[in-house]
């Protein structure tokens, strides 16, 4: 039974909401900042509408994972456009009334995203190797024919690869859990800065902090969802040592203070509520099921299928997984390029401001 509404890293999303009649306009959310949040809400709504979950197996498709990364890429591009237009000091300092160094916030957020990209690349590499092993197992099946040894041969080829991949995936997931928790802790600090800057100070700098905060939280949550699916950790790796619930997203953003963020918080919460925990990639589970059926004898000699049919089944499942992984890998390259381009441009802005 898969639980929903709880992140693999042990966090919950809750929003403290005021009735709509009591909303008050926060002057931090205007112009480009409001447009950024509206665009993000639209993107999250699309993600939620296309999230197809197999509740029995707790799986999501590689296509959805790729769409999540496309939204992250678009968010990075739009955030950079806002920063490019903003005419505020790189370090707001005291003049920003708590807004802080928005340049440092941006560089930290993008560095964390690059770390996630590296973790995704490692997971993609393991899936590519798994597909190659499965294809080889299919050839073994044809070579052995229906002499009763095809299943045993396939298990000798595939099972060691699965065991090694699961061990590496679990280790990678545990490492990223700590990073994600640190990102949420930083988001809490930024949330307090928003409250302070809402009471006074530089509106532009405050708005940029809002954008950075929203981007940081959204990127961390979506990346953790995708990483959890790609690495498919066992439940033991999901629960933290204390077995408790980690800081809530509500503590990072108080929508009583910034009610315009309510739609964003609700949109992210809808995805969170439906996303399975633990999760796995649907295409990968289909391959694993085909292998398990073969090894257990459901296919080999028991279902009347010959070696050619067995090979076709495994190759078809492996092909679906490979196609999804390759699509995700291409989107991941686009995200990486977008982040590197943005960081280089921001460094150029820093240099120009230092010279003026």
- Taking alpha carbons only, the member of 26, 31, 21 closest to residue 255 is 26
According to DSSP, the β-strands at 276-277 and 59-60 are unpaired
- Can you tell me the mean pLDDT for 93-97? 41
Q: Is the pLDDT of residue 242 over 50?
A: no
CA dihedral 105, 255, 268, 344 (to 10 degrees): -20
Backbone φ and ψ for 49, nearest 5 degrees, come out as -70, -25
pLDDT value at residue 107 = 87
Which of the two residues, 86 and 205, has the higher pLDDT score? 86
56-91 pLDDT, tens digit per residue, is: 778 999 999 999 999 999 999 999 898 888 766 655
Confidence band, pLDDT 50/70/90 cuts, at residue 201: very low
115-164 pLDDT, tens digit per residue, is: 999 999 999 998 898 888 888 777 776 665 555 555 555 555 555 555 55
Domain ranges of the chain: 3-350
Are 4 and 236 in contact by the 8 Å Cβ rule? The answer is no
- Maximum mean pLDDT: which of 65-69, 219-223, 242-246: 65-69
Looking up tokens 């005021």 gives: 18
Backbone φ and ψ for 148, nearest 5 degrees, come out as 90, -10
Q: Is the pLDDT of residue 111 over 80?
A: yes
Are 113 and 72 in contact by the 8 Å Cβ rule? The answer is yes
- Taking alpha carbons only, the member of 51, 33, 50 closest to residue 264 is 33
329-353 pLDDT, tens digit per residue, is: 999 999 999 999 999 998 888 787 7
H or E segment at 237? helix 235-238
- Can you tell me the mean pLDDT for 217-242? 69
Distance CA 227, CA 116 (A): 8
pLDDT value at residue 168 = 53
- Taking alpha carbons only, the member of 207, 222, 318, 327 closest to residue 268 is 222
Are 304 and 37 in contact by the 8 Å Cβ rule? The answer is no
- What does DSSP assign to residue 94? G
Are 119 and 224 in contact by the 8 Å Cβ rule? The answer is no
Q: How many CA atoms lie within 13 A of 235 on its CB side?
A: 8
- Can you tell me the mean pLDDT for 204-225? 82
pLDDT value at residue 321 = 94
Q: Facing residues of 300 across strands? A: 305
DSSP code per residue over 141-161: HHHHTTSS-HHHHHHHHHHHH
- Can you tell me the mean pLDDT for 2-17? 47
| Contacts of 283 by beta carbon, 8 Å cutoff, 6+ apart | 61, 62, 317, 320, 321, 324, 325
- Can you tell me the mean pLDDT for 189-213? 62
pLDDT value at residue 44 = 96
Question: Where does the chain show beta strands of DSSP type E?
Answer: 3-4, 59-60, 276-277, 280-281
């Amino acid at each position: 039974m898969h639980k929903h509404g709880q992140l693999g890293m042990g966090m919950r999303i809750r929003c403290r909401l005021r009735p709509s009649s009591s909303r008050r306009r926060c002057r931090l959310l205007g112009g480009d900042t409001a447009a950024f949040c509206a665009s993000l809400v639209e993107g999250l709504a699309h993600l939620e509408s296309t999230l197809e979950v197999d509740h029995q197996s707790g799986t999501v498709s590689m296509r959805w994972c790729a769409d999540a990364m496309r939204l992250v890429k678009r968010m990075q591009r739009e955030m950079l456009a806002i920063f490019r237009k903003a005419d505020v000091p790189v370090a707001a300092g005291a003049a920003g009334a708590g807004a802080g160094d928005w340049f440092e916030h941006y560089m930290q957020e993008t560095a964390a995203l690059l770390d996630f990209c590296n973790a995704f690349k490692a997971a993609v590499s393991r899936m590519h190797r798994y597909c190659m092993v499965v294809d080889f197992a299919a050839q073994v099946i044809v070579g052995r024919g229906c002499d009763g040894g095809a299943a045993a041969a396939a298990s000798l080829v595939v099972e060691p690869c699965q065991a090694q991949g699961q061990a590496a995936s679990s280790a990678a997931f545990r490492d990223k859990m700590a990073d994600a928790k640190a990102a949420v802790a930083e988001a809490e600090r930024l949330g307090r800065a928003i409250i302070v800057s809402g009471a006074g100070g530089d509106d532009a700098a405050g708005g940029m902090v809002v954008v950075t905060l929203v981007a940081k939280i959204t990127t961390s949550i979506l990346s953790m969802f995708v990483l959890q699916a790609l690495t498919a950790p066992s439940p033991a790796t999901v629960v933290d040592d204390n077995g408790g619930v980690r800081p809530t997203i509500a503590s990072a953003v108080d929508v009583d203070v910034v009610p315009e963020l309510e739609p964003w918080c609700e949109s992210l919460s809808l995805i969170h509520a439906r996303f399975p925990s633990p999760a796995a990639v649907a295409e990968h589970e289909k391959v694993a099921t085909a292998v398990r059926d073969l090894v257990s004898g459901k296919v080999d000699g028991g279902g009347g299928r010959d070696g050619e049919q067995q090979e076709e089944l495994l190759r078809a499942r492996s092909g679906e997984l490979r196609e999804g992984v390759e699509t995700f890998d291409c989107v991941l390259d686009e995200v990486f390029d977008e982040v590197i381009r943005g960081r280089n441009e921001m460094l150029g802005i820093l240099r120009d401001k230092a010279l003026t």
